[in-house]
Structure 1
């Protein structure tokens, strides 16, 4: 039995698609089952509710061979660290009570960076908490998601620009969510691995935001440039969109850690996944731009 959390989310849905045709029994935890397609509802067992609920995860983890664990982001959380840990503690209880064999967590590169890293630090704490259960665990560690740029399609379309708090010249390791899903699916279907370790999921390109702008311009055949936003202005803008001050500050601190090279050590040693940034722009960003 494989259990998938966030099956309607960006990553969870792709993972579910990748294991859909396997012979494994699949169970999903979902707040609103109506968001699952009829095809999926016919294939999987559904446990309705939130996976921060001890009753829900206890029921869902019964007889589980492997669990895909992802804490959904919540920009209205008043304390990101508490949010991640409080979300994960019920799962840790259910891991032990239900005898879960293996767990795969969606985390981040930079676990051993050594200084606070904004919204990345709660993911590292999540890994540490899960490991205390002694479950066989693989933390999938990723850098900058290419899909982050999908939130800026309107800015690219209307202003010919995209915006972040990061330095325009500092190169970031990147990855595409479909490659994350492929790696996660292989681990979910592989019953042979044991112990606790991490798996870096890093695409072939290390790019600065200015590099990204040049490639986007090439693919879209129009001039696009990157604009770094001062931290205070970026934070204020995010709060205007409804983020809590703590979550917005977490974004700022994460960008600062990225500029300081939090991904560098692990990304340089990682085996690279196949999706290049230009391929992602052609196959994902451009269709979204044209839609």
Structure 2
């Protein structure tokens, strides 16, 4: 051990930095000022604007040059790894190899809720977990359901048209978690790695929800009718393309929703609530707290929102 501050790095491949990485860095900055925090992401200075008010090192790396990622990770003790949807195994494998060469001691990796054979994305996530198992680095793959923050891509539609949409039936149950709760779990793992096991069990709110329920919660929070309209598969893929997502990645996300629609989502658990030592955030409370995100002034509300274009091209 040395007397130098522990370096915690959030590693990602896209500008999609309004969700768990953003919340994790902010929580660590508040709760553990002794840490050195780092954001390692292509065009880091663009994504880093979201955390310009806290002390975070920004490290660029070039997706076509693995050596640049090794340099960006130099000195990192713990890495929060946010693998991309597209080419998850190839890109995630590059992350793992760079972490090995940089001497990273622990990885907290975002996973999904389903087992290997349930959908294409689950198979990719399982293959990446196999690479982590072989790496020799201590790791947790955190099984996560839908983030409530995913609806923030639809702020404009809710504000102007009074509607939102997903490619699933209105009464289909899905599991969920807020990014803030997920970030708190990650921070506990980072600060006390031996006392928290985030692998295995789904980290979710203890109850599931439906889009009908969400429409009701939005209507209550906004004081006007908000409706849910089931999205066609074609429209869903097109909507993701607006954010720069590649067709193969969009197909994987659609497959995830297809699995939920056909077979049901992974059952909710109370594991997150137990580890947090408090009730996890329910959909109604989250929606009420984020009501400003769904009104005419949504663009200037204080909550993090997705950038207009946040995906990067293939390596």
TM range (shorter): 0.7 to 0.9
Task: Quote how far apart the aligned CAs of 1:138 are.
Answer: 0.8
Where does residue 13 of structure 1 map in the other structure?
22
Structure 2 residue corresponding to 1:209, chosen from 204, 208, 211: 211
Task: Quote how far apart the aligned CAs of 1:70 are.
Answer: 0.7
Q: 5 Å matches for 1:138-153?
A: 138-153=140-155
Q: Would the aligned equivalents of 1:95 and 1:133 in 2 still touch at CA under 8 Å?
A: no
Where does residue 32 of structure 1 map in the other structure?
43
Worse-matched range after superposition: 205-214 or 150-159: 150-159
Task: Quote how far apart the aligned CAs of 1:255 are.
Answer: 0.9
Alpha-carbon deviations, 1:246-266, whole Å to 9, x = none?
23322321111112446324x
Where does residue 225 of structure 2 map in the other structure?
223
Task: Quote how far apart the aligned CAs of 1:54 are.
Answer: 2.0
1:49 paired to 2:61: yes
Structure 1 residue corresponding to 2:89, chosen from 85, 91, 116: 85
CA, structure 1 residues 134+260, in 2 after alignment: closer, same or farther (shift >3 Å)? farther
1:280 paired to 2:292: no
Distance 1:104 1:138 in 2: 5
Worse-matched range after superposition: 162-171 or 94-103: 94-103
Q: Would the aligned equivalents of 1:239 and 1:248 in 2 still touch at CA under 8 Å?
A: yes
Alpha-carbon deviations, 1:20-53, whole Å to 9, x = none?
1421223331333434359858834432224674
CA, structure 1 residues 178+254, in 2 after alignment: closer, same or farther (shift >3 Å)? same
Where does residue 185 of structure 1 map in the other structure?
187
Let me know the Cα RMSD of the aligned residues: 3.0
1:98 paired to 2:98: no
Alpha-carbon deviations, 1:250-284, whole Å to 9, x = none?
2321111112446324x246343521111111122
Distance 2:54 2:144 in 1: 32
Task: Quote how far apart the aligned CAs of 1:127 are.
Answer: 2.4
Larger fraction in strand: 1
Where does residue 306 of structure 2 map in the other structure?
none
The number of equivalent residue pairs is 279
For structure 1, the residue ranges without an aligned partner over 5 or more in a row are 74-79
Worse-matched range after superposition: 33-42 or 253-262: 33-42
CA, structure 1 residues 194+94, in 2 after alignment: closer, same or farther (shift >3 Å)? farther
Q: Would the aligned equivalents of 1:29 and 1:49 in 2 still touch at CA under 8 Å?
A: yes
Distance 1:190 1:141 in 2: 19
Where does residue 163 of structure 2 map in the other structure?
161
Where does residue 65 of structure 1 map in the other structure?
77
Q: 5 Å matches for 1:109-120?
A: 109-112=113-116, 114-115=117-118, 117-120=119-122
Distance 2:252 2:16 in 1: 25
TM-score with structure 2 setting the length: 0.77
